[in-house]
Chains A and B, each alone.
Chain A
Amino acid sequence: MNNNLQLNKNGELQHLLTTEGLPASILLNILDTAESFVGVPERDIKKVPLLRGKSIFNLFFEPSTRTRTTFEIAAKRLSADVVNLNIAASSQSKGETLLDTVNNLSAMHADMFIVRHSQSGAAHLIARHVRPEIHVINAGDGRHAHPTQALLDMFTIRRYKCDFRNLRVAIVGDILHSRVARSQIHALTTLGVPEVRVISPKTLLPTKVERLGVHVYHDMAQGLKDVDVLLMLRLQNERMLGARLPSAEEYFKHYGLTQEKLARAKHDAIVMHPGPMNRGIEIDSAVADGKQSVILPQVTFGIAVRMAVMTILAGN
């Protein structure tokens, strides 16, 4: 896929489609800008007038509550007008339907599209198609990428751990089906995290994942030893085509994060999860609600990070 599609002729962000291939300077600029948005909801007036008069369309071809809601809140806190479209994607002629939808909304003077789609590359397709003054944000496409999730994870990590360059980070769970994991790996390596581990059963690991610069573990006790950050992934039942796992109970026994397994990590390690959580499958409630969990701050920071992305795109 063409990553240059994301940058305009001045090397500035035109669309946000994937963290892959983006320079550290752009990622850090997003994180730094997000810092200024964290305080906005604490004011009497919980919004800033930056995107007043802009029309932002949430195009969700796949169900989502958290991501859609946080994008909507982020846009509203920037004073933009938001329209939510939950479109059940037809299984046939998706490409054509998708571009027709986009053409119609462009005719309504859309300024920005936020796209969630079950097919990898959907947001790229739209970005290639729209007029140059329209910006596209990928809110998750198939197994490919979910860049704003990865960015809010990076923001959260930096908030708690300050410096990326001395961290050991473990991504745990269903790497194979996870667009979040891919975007996290690209962001972590670009930001200079020296050791990124993936911990997963063999059946949930893409082939040649080592090429992304990660260390592979199949055993939690080994993989979690001395890590600073645990990025848990959701076990994606709806993507589990064919029997890749014997049972959810069996998965929890080996890969579910319990206090006992967490004790292998550093004592001040933080636990993150993109949500929605399957309690008792990939994470035990005692950990999810425990003092090392930063899962709810992730949600809060997600709004500030999405505000930063929208602002930077709208200004370029």
Chain B
Amino acid sequence: MHLPDAEQLLADLAEKMRPDVTKNTVLVGIYTGGVWLAKRLCQTLELTLPLGSLDVSFYRDDFGQIGLHHQVKPSSIPFEVEGRHIILIDDVLYTGRTIRAAINELFDYGRPASVRLAALVDRGGRELPIAANYVGATIVLLEDKMLALEQSNSGKLSLSLYDKISPG
């Protein structure tokens, strides 16, 4: 199947966000793809405040089933969360469980004034009542597919589609 160009989606996403962005807006990327995107969006939107990054592993709802399934990276929120307008950045919005975890983690740093969500791709399949405020593209995919954002050595972003490894 033909996948859209991630760089073009990123440019579109930035333009959708631009009207709502002020110099007080902060971006928080969700590892790993969301952090790449947040860095690029920060440049494009000329934001000066430092960006945050979240690894939501400690807040996931499947720890009891699968434990820590990959190497955790330290979360970093280098600004006061209290009273701040925050935009969470993720690459692929799917079940909504990652976003639930990210919101919970964010609130452990303080009480933000607002939290919005920007995703490069919305692939449907939500299992929680969560919606993005800004979306680069909506792509409907079958359940056995995995859509991943990748970054080349030069920093160029691209989308790839994989078959999920079936359990057992």
Contacts and interface: CB of A to CB of B under 8 A. Distances in A.
B71 A29 contact: yes
Interface string A12-43: 00000000000000000100110110110001
A38 B71 CA distance: 15
Contact of A33 (B59, B66, B72, B76): B72
B108 A36 contact: no
Interface string B8-43: 000000000000000000000000000000000000
A29 B57 CA distance: 14
A48 B59 contact: yes
B104 A33 contact: no
Contact of B58 (A29, A32, A44, A48): A48
B119 to A, nearest CB: 24
A32 B74 CA distance: 9
Interface residues of B, number: 23
B110 interface: yes
Nearest to B73: A36
A315 interface: yes
A47 B81 CA distance: 16
B63 A38 contact: no
Contacts of B74: 35-36, 38-39
Interface in B31-78: 55, 57-59, 63, 66-68, 71-77
B35 to A, nearest CB: 14
B153 to A, nearest CB: 23
Contacts of B71: 29, 32-33
B55 A39 contact: no
A102 interface: no
A158 to B, nearest CB: 14
A311 B63 CA distance: 9
Contacts of A314: 67
B75 A36 contact: yes
B79 interface: no
| Contact-residue size bin, chain A (C-beta under 8 Å from the other chain) | 10 to 19
A33 B68 contact: yes
Contacts of A316: 67
B55 A36 contact: yes
A55 to B, nearest CB: 14
A38 B77 CA distance: 13
B59 A49 contact: yes
A243 interface: no
A38 B55 CA distance: 14
A44 B73 CA distance: 20
B108 A44 contact: yes
Given A35-B74, A39-B76, A315 B68 contact: yes
A315 B76 contact: no
A36 B58 contact: yes
Contacts of A221: none
A43 B67 contact: no
B109 A49 contact: no
A212 B81 CA distance: 50
A39 B109 CA distance: 11
Most chain B CB inside 10 Å of its own CB: which residue of A32, A38, A312, A315: A315
Contacts of A35: 74
B72 A44 contact: no
| 6 residue pairs, one from A and one from B, having the closest CB atoms | A315-B67, A45-B108, A48-B58, A36-B72, A36-B74, A315-B68
Interface of B: 55, 57-59, 63, 66-68, 71-77, 81-82, 104-105, 107-110
Interface of A: 29, 32-33, 35-36, 38-39, 43-45, 47-50, 311-312, 314-316
29 contacts: A29-B71, A32-B72, A33-B71, A33-B72, A36-B58, A36-B73, A36-B75, A39-B74, A39-B75, A43-B77, A43-B109, A44-B81, A44-B109, A44-B110, A45-B107, A45-B109, A48-B59, A48-B105, A48-B108, A49-B58, A49-B104, A50-B58, A50-B63, A311-B58, A311-B68, A315-B66, A315-B67, A315-B68, A316-B67
